[in-house]
Amino acid sequence: MKLVRYGAHGNEKPGLIDKDGALRDLSEHVADIDPYVLGREGRARLAAIDPASLPEVEGTPRFGAPVAPVSKIICVGMNYARHAAETGQPVPAQPVLFMKATTAIMGPNDDVVIPRGSTCTDWEVELGVVIGETARDVSVDEALAHVAGFIVINDLSEREFQLEHGGQWVKGKSCDSFGPLGPWLVTIDEVPDPQNLHLWLEVNGHRYQDSNTSDMVFGVAKLVSYISRYMTLLPGDVISTGTPAGVGLGLKPPTYLRPGDVIELGIDGLGRQRQQVRAHPADASAAR
């Protein structure tokens, strides 16, 4: 299944994408794409519904993040060897973990807002893992049984905030609009191998990132198991599994996002995102 949330920000409704690509409304069956839906039993109930019996949604409504609520976003750093090399870091012996604030979450095609005073806002296409069953210290062999499905994530980052403002990376990762999720959540039964997915990102039509999840240092099952050793993973939690080479920080010279830029990114089978970049209101006013 491809599960979605659509409509105006803060008033999204649950839906699914049928086999013909049509948007169908799920409101008569569930209140939202939430922990009740994401577990094995919830997914089985939805899978039993004939999509043709659901009302078709007309037009092209906005897509929101495909899951809510999200109690936490756990990100993985340096999880592609070439990305570690381009940033001058060694390949880690254990997964590097950090958090992204849930207030960064937005829809897949909403505008990206450059933070006030920022000159180093960067892009990062990533495979997102959505938890479906509570996971506490699970084994690698058990890990995928706790996954509801997968999403596309743009793990936007402000490199000056991240690297030069002291402390942990979270300050450079958590600005408003720095967490586009979606367009839909593809349930795990439709993803035969999460370690063989092509992912890419373009800015203004130029392809900067072009890789495959087979290049991950630590795969999805290892990450779910590893993270669940240190914290309980709840249904709806999101793991952002790391980005491949091609980020702006690693270019020579470094290249960062500017107002007016257009970001497009996607993962085969999981959909694509498109974001327009705009200035922070304070910076836009100062420029006039």
Q: Mean pLDDT throughout 43-66?
A: 97
Given a cut of 70, is residue 287 above it in pLDDT? no
Give the pLDDT confidence score for residue 75 in this predicted structure: 98
Give the pLDDT confidence score for residue 90 in this predicted structure: 87
Tell me the longest C-alpha to C-alpha distance in the chain: 57
- Burial of 192 from C-beta contacts in 10 A (0-12 / 13-18 / 19+): exposed
Reported as a single tens digit per residue, the pLDDT across 274-284 is 999 999 998 87
Give the pLDDT confidence score for residue 288 in this predicted structure: 62
Confidence of residue 286 (pLDDT cuts 50, 70, 90): low
- For the domain spanning 73-287, the CATH number is 3.90.850.10
pTM: 0.96
What is the percent of the chain with per-residue pLDDT over 70, rounded to a whole number? 99
- Contact (CB, 8 A) for 151 and 128: yes
Distance CA 120, CA 67 (A): 29
Domain ranges in the chain with CATH number 3.90.850.10: 73-287
Given a cut of 90, is residue 82 above it in pLDDT? no
CA angle, 154 then 62 then 177, to 5°? 35
Give the pLDDT confidence score for residue 283 in this predicted structure: 86
- Contact (CB, 8 A) for 143 and 239: no
Distance CA 27, CA 25 (A): 6
Distance CA 269, CA 124 (A): 18
Average pLDDT, the chain: 96
Q: Mean pLDDT throughout 192-219?
A: 98
Q: Mean pLDDT throughout 16-35?
A: 97
Confidence of residue 88 (pLDDT cuts 50, 70, 90): confident
Reported as a single tens digit per residue, the pLDDT across 129-141 is 999 999 999 999 9
Give the pLDDT confidence score for residue 84 in this predicted structure: 83
Give the pLDDT confidence score for residue 152 in this predicted structure: 99
Given a cut of 70, is residue 285 above it in pLDDT? no
Distance CA 49, CA 126 (A): 31
Q: Mean pLDDT throughout 39-53?
A: 97
Chain mean position to CA 128:
5
Give the pLDDT confidence score for residue 166 in this predicted structure: 84
Nearby residues of 133 by Cβ (< 8 Å), 6 or more positions away: 39, 40, 145, 146, 148, 235
What is the percent of the chain with per-residue pLDDT over 90, rounded to a whole number? 91
Q: Mean pLDDT throughout 202-210?
A: 98
CA angle, 168 then 221 then 84, to 5°? 45
